[in-house]
Amino acid sequence: MTAVESDSGVLAGEERMLIDGELVHAAGGAFFDVEHPASEQVAGRVTDGTVADMERAVGAARRAFDNTDWSRDVEFRYHCLMQLHAALDRNKERLRRILITEVGCPVTVSGSQIESPIEEVKHWAEHGRAFDYLQDNGVHETQLGPARRKLSYEAIGVVGAITPWNVPFYLNIAETVPALMAGNTVVLKPAQLTPWSGSEYGRIVAEETDIPAGVFNVVTSNANEVGAALSADPRVDMITFTGSTATGRAILAAGAPTVKKTLLELGGKSAHIVLDDADFSSALPLAAMMACVMSGQSCILPSRILLPRSRYDEGLQILAASMAAFPVGDPWTPGNMQGPQISATQRQKVLGLIQSGIDSGARLLTGGGVPENLTTGYYTQATLLADVDPDSQVAQEEIFGPVLTVTPYDSDEDAIAIANNSIYGLSGEVSSADPERALRVAQRMRTGNVSINAKSHFGISSPFGGTKQSGLGYRNGEQGYMEYLDIKTIGMPA
């Protein structure tokens, strides 16, 4: 019996969603199953929201924004979000079990997906309380004499938040908490594969906080049309979305008729430029770990490794050895760092892309299939492909699996050109013994974020966003809070 089977508290649920302050079942009375990807067993079921449910949730959020003081009462919002922080912290072991159950995330690495976002709730509550919502912009000369201008920072209105399955609890928090603290009302639509993290978040808000009815709503659904209905609804002022570039395009198009503000964090295909003076013995095992630790299901993973031709074989050997030794297995077992892919479909997609790489001339150095001892669960071997053509499908498409592609380069210029040969621009990495040289290379990469020598670019206090087709706008940092505010400029007597 695995740990998930023994936790009837998690398993028994027929999880409800939160609309207008009530935990409810879907209008049609239907449910959909949640599968545990490590056992291939149905782990529970969640209410299957319809377009009608979404319309009710948007109506509730609209009324809560228009008819209550939520958007104007920053002290009350602070009180509610600090309550939420405490409530999430009380429930964190249950949230962790749900995360492992629906994603297959290894318990060993679950801290960044549970403890960190819970701490972020407190961060945003404090940040939003300290924010100066009415700023003096000074005296300006106009044709009619001097005018004093003030900048009034105000909530945008109803925010629709749509999240993906790879880091569900973290992204549910990251998309909704700054929006709420800024005074907006919110409708959250979690991903089909990971609805529990969302429904549990809704339950905690309803039962353990004073957040008023309609301010925060969660609609779980197995149908893409329900997210589409949210992104097209004229009563919604803004969509904040994390997911694939294809869905991001559809959301932009759906919001165009009502000119919705749209914040998009999309796909990536990031490059890691390993310069010829880099310390391979530290940089490359870390690169292998990054590729495997979330089963490769990470948007910011630098999955294209660019190695100098002068040290190509040395680099390949280290990467292959590190990947082959990576601890893969049951996510409930402490020590395992790589769990399964989230679904049979996702694993099939990963294996198909590996095969497309081999068909286009890449050399398979390790992995390439299913681990022999892990035939139940959607496990994939950590896979290293060498001699990858930068224009091939496997070098251009996001894989979302534990796969690294390696391409040799001849000069720094050459490496920068290969790194920039992508429709995406989410993150990247440079390794070098010379941080200034690495910085010059990083500045030439057309991407939103870069780490040098594994010094992370990612964190709550710094803006995070993609360039090119990886996104629009920012999460985190001051910019990430301002995304959820409109600026009203007021001219008044000087």
Chain contacts with ligand NAD (rule: CB under 6 A):
162-167, 189, 191-192, 224, 227-228, 231, 242-244, 247, 250-251, 265-268, 299, 398, 426, 466, 471
| Tokens at 106, concatenated | 């290894």
Active site residue 105: no
Distance from chain centroid for Cα 94: 21
Q: How far apart are CA 50 and CA 412, in angstroms?
A: 53
Catalytic annotation, pick one of 299, 398, 429, 483: 299
Q: Give residue number: closest CB to ligand NAD.
A: 227
Active site residue 265: yes
Catalytic annotation, pick one of 102, 265, 429, 483: 265
CB 186 within 8 A of CB 159: yes
Q: Phi-psi category of 386—alpha, beta or left, where left has phi over 0 and alpha has psi -120 to 50?
A: beta
Q: Could you tell me the maximum CA-CA distance found in the chain, to the nearest angstrom? A: 80
Minimum CB distance to ligand NAD smaller for 366 or for 470: 470
DSSP string, 268-310: ---EEEE-TTS-HHHHHHHHHHHHHTTTT--TT---EEEEEGG
Minimum CB distance to ligand NAD smaller for 401 or for 471: 471
Q: Phi-psi category of 82—alpha, beta or left, where left has phi over 0 and alpha has psi -120 to 50?
A: alpha
Nearest distance from residue 333's CB to ligand NAD, in Å? Answer: 25
Tell me the torsion sign for CA atoms 51, 173, 269, 290. negative
For residue 487, the tally of other CB atoms under 10 A from its CB is 11
Specify the amino acid at residue 245.
Answer: T
Nearest distance from residue 5's CB to ligand NAD, in Å? Answer: 26
Nearest distance from residue 418's CB to ligand NAD, in Å? Answer: 20
Nearest distance from residue 467's CB to ligand NAD, in Å? Answer: 11
Q: How far apart are CA 310 and CA 316, in angstroms?
A: 12
Tell me the torsion sign for CA atoms 36, 42, 47, 50. positive
Minimum CB distance to ligand NAD smaller for 270 or for 431: 270
Minimum CB distance to ligand NAD smaller for 283 or for 292: 292
Nearest distance from residue 231's CB to ligand NAD, in Å? Answer: 5
Minimum CB distance to ligand NAD smaller for 83 or for 262: 262
| Tokens at 99, concatenated | 């995360």
Minimum CB distance to ligand NAD smaller for 70 or for 165: 165
- Give me the residue label for tokens 């997210």: 227
CA dihedral 414, 418, 419, 424 (to 10 degrees): 150
Specify the amino acid at residue 270.
Answer: S
Nearest distance from residue 224's CB to ligand NAD, in Å? Answer: 4
487 DSSP β-pair partners: 153
Active site residues: 265, 299
